[in-house]
Structure 1
Amino acid sequence: MPYAVGKFYEQVSDYDLEYQSQSEQDVPFWRELLQRLAPKRVLELACGSGRIGLELLQGPGDFLLDGLDLEPSMLKAYRRKLALQPIELQQRVALYEGNMTSYQLPRKGFYDLIFLPFNSICHLFEIEDQIATFKNAYDHLAPGGYFVVDTQLPDLDYLSNALNNPSHVYLEDELEDPNGEFTMHVYTTRRYDPNEQLQRLSWVHEKYFETGENERYLTKLEMHVFFPRELQLLFLSTGFAIDAIYGDYTFKPFGKGTRQIIVGQKPH
């Protein structure tokens, strides 16, 4: 059975700290893509605590942004951050708790753009869930709308190490709390099941507080590894045309980077 996704995402403040540097990479990409596509109605799946959405709202354009996430703690943090924004920005946002495989939003057939960023598609382990997610996005898009999925390109050396050295412990990151209250070290172990295409990841977070106290906790997560033709077939088999595939966040061609960012379009 898959690990509960919520266990990893319940520590929202630590998650935000750990992935704050990711925004320097992918937020400019999403901002540029919105300028190119010029949508008026946008839905972000697996929106989390607003790492991407809040940045996009403060950029150009007056689009409406809906966000959907499965984890209540993430949505609570998103709402808390949103409450600090100007009222006119708050009025452009609606947040929903739900599963990307089965959500039924009031604005079905409404969106010009639905996007699923930063490996969140990897939480879909079963083929049935993958197809349901793509069909649901298709149904919620207006004719001519776009569905964009961003995930990592499989690294065969990385997966080989995870397969052959499942007990090896890696120091993933060393982070400083912005308020100076603690230092956090993040350690991981990685296992890979090639038959199921699953990464099984374990994280140990160790905090060293200025008060001299320590804190340690363990989280686990499973992530499906999507190979390129597999992901492209999901788009084609659910009715989308593939408009573009990018290899990284600077719009390099597919194969020239470490990402596979697919832009699918619902026919007019």
Structure 2
Amino acid sequence: MPDSDGYFGENIAATYDESTAEMSRPAVVEPAVDVLAELAGDGPALELGIGTGRIALPLAARGIAVHGIDMSRAMVDRLRAKPGGDAVEVTIGDFATTRAGDEFALVYLVFNTIDNLTTQDAQVDCFRNAAAQLRPGGCFVVEVGVPDLRRLPPGQSAVPFHISDTRWAFDTYDVATQAMSSNYVTIVDGRAEHWSIPFRYVWPAELDLMARLAGLRLRDRWEDWTREPFTSESGKHVSVWEKPAA
């Protein structure tokens, strides 16, 4: 069950970096930071759901002033304990509504974090919150997966994404409500433990409408941070919406 840190309390924060080590490889991080640094220019930049600083710290190392918003104190404590973490200003709160300023050149969400907002209303609020904190001409960037519903045969609601002798992981989907959850089963000394995190999956066209409601317009959409074209076969997208210049 969630606590004041949401679903990313101490029990998750303690092993989060290890469990996401694949996403922290330079080959994954550097292309993302390259794009974000280019969009930020002279900054400042704001990361929504900053977590332990996987992207924020290398972006700050480029000389860009990076701020963050996150509900989880446990995750932010990990960020602050890392080299350079004390230079990143973080506001504790719900990133759908919490404000850190109103003159950011860049606001961004990475690694499916938009899906952590489990209602459409909250996702719409997030776009409005991002737009309110952008200066004219600034950009809002979202990296998020495309729902993998084509793998669901009739009558099935779960899609496995990891199976080993000690760990099982699978996503469940409700196509009527767009609710989903990521579920993890770990086996230690013959005993199984299960934990689950709820999400709400969202389609690219739906995000575009949220952006329009917030006064933003689509500038770019790529398959990945390498700026490959987004196609019907893409498993995720990186989308850039721009706040019109005054």
The total of aligned residue pairs comes to 239
Aligned to 2:162: 172
User: Structure 1: which 5+ runs fail to align?
Assistant: 175-183, 208-212
Shift of the 7–129 alpha-carbon distance from structure 1 to 2, 3 Å rule, reads closer
Aligned to 2:14: 13
- Name the CA distance, whole Å, in 2 between partners of 1:97 and 1:8: 13
Equivalent in 95, 99, 102 of residue 104 of structure 1:
99
Asked if 2 retains the 8 angstrom alpha-carbon contact of 1:39 and 1:113, the reply is: no
Q: Show the 5 A alignment for 1:93-242.
A: 93-105=88-100, 107=101, 109-158=102-151, 160=152, 164=156, 166=158, 170=160, 172=162, 185-207=166-188, 217-242=193-218
Shift of the 189–252 alpha-carbon distance from structure 1 to 2, 3 Å rule, reads closer
Question: How far has the Cα of 1:50 moved from its partner?
Answer: 1.1
Asked if 2 retains the 8 angstrom alpha-carbon contact of 1:162 and 1:192, the reply is: no
Question: How far has the Cα of 1:124 moved from its partner?
Answer: 1.6
Aligned to 1:69: 70
- Name the CA distance, whole Å, in 1 between partners of 2:127 and 2:157: 34
- Name the CA distance, whole Å, in 2 between partners of 1:102 and 1:162: 38
Equivalent in 16, 29, 34 of residue 27 of structure 1:
29
- Name the CA distance, whole Å, in 1 between partners of 2:34 and 2:208: 23
Shift of the 132–57 alpha-carbon distance from structure 1 to 2, 3 Å rule, reads same
* Secondary structure of residue in 2 paired with 1:245: strand
Question: How far has the Cα of 1:55 moved from its partner?
Answer: 2.3
- Name the CA distance, whole Å, in 2 between partners of 1:262 and 1:126: 20
CA RMSD of aligned residues (A): 2.5
Aligned to 1:45: 48
Question: How far has the Cα of 1:9 moved from its partner?
Answer: 4.9
- Name the CA distance, whole Å, in 1 between partners of 2:37 and 2:49: 22
* Percent identity of paired positions between Structure 1 and Structure 2: 26
- Name the CA distance, whole Å, in 1 between partners of 2:28 and 2:244: 27
- Name the CA distance, whole Å, in 2 between partners of 1:23 and 1:161: 33
| TM, length-normalised to structure 1 | 0.80
Shift of the 50–216 alpha-carbon distance from structure 1 to 2, 3 Å rule, reads farther
- Name the CA distance, whole Å, in 1 between partners of 2:128 and 2:240: 15
* Secondary structure of residue in 1 paired with 2:21: coil
Question: How far has the Cα of 1:218 moved from its partner?
Answer: 2.4
Question: How far has the Cα of 1:113 moved from its partner?
Answer: 0.3
Question: How far has the Cα of 1:217 moved from its partner?
Answer: 3.5
* Secondary structure of residue in 2 paired with 1:254: coil
Question: How far has the Cα of 1:161 moved from its partner?
Answer: 5.5
Aligned to 1:177: none
Aligned to 1:54: 57
Question: How far has the Cα of 1:110 moved from its partner?
Answer: 1.3
Paired amino acid for 2:91: Y
* Secondary structure of residue in 1 paired with 2:75: helix
Paired amino acid for 2:162: E
User: Structure 2: which 5+ runs fail to align?
Assistant: none
Equivalent in 228, 238, 241 of residue 261 of structure 1:
238
Asked if 1 retains the 8 angstrom alpha-carbon contact of 2:163 and 2:169, the reply is: no
Shift of the 173–142 alpha-carbon distance from structure 1 to 2, 3 Å rule, reads farther
Asked if 1 retains the 8 angstrom alpha-carbon contact of 2:46 and 2:106, the reply is: yes
Question: How far has the Cα of 1:144 moved from its partner?
Answer: 0.8
Aligned to 1:210: none
- Name the CA distance, whole Å, in 1 between partners of 2:105 and 2:166: 41
